[in-house]
Amino acid sequence: MDTVRAKEIVSSPIMANVTYNGASVYIESVNDLRETAKIHSLNQPENSQVVSLTNLTEY
C-alpha cells in the first residue's frame, strides 16, 4: 500500500478492508518518512504494532 492511500484510509470515517499477513487490521496512524503504519488487529485492539506499508493490502 502506498503512503497516500494509507493516509486517506486513516482520515476517512468509513472503515476500509485492510489486511496484514491475512488478518483484518485497523490503521491507527501513518509515518510518511519511514513508510510505516501503526496498526492493530480487529480482534485484538489492545495489541498495536508498527509495520511496513508494503505489508498492508486493501481489498
**DSSP-based three-state secondary structure for 12:** coil
CA distances from 13 to 16, 41, 52 (A): 9, 18, 23
Alpha-carbon dihedral sign for residues 1, 27, 41, 35 = positive
- pLDDT tens for the chain, 59 residues: list them: 999 999 999 999 999 999 999 999 999 999 999 999 999 999 999 999 999 999 999 99
Is the distance from CB of 40 to CB of 26 less than 8 angstroms? yes
- Output the nine-digit C-alpha cell for 35: 513508510
Is the distance from CB of 20 to CB of 39 less than 8 angstroms? yes
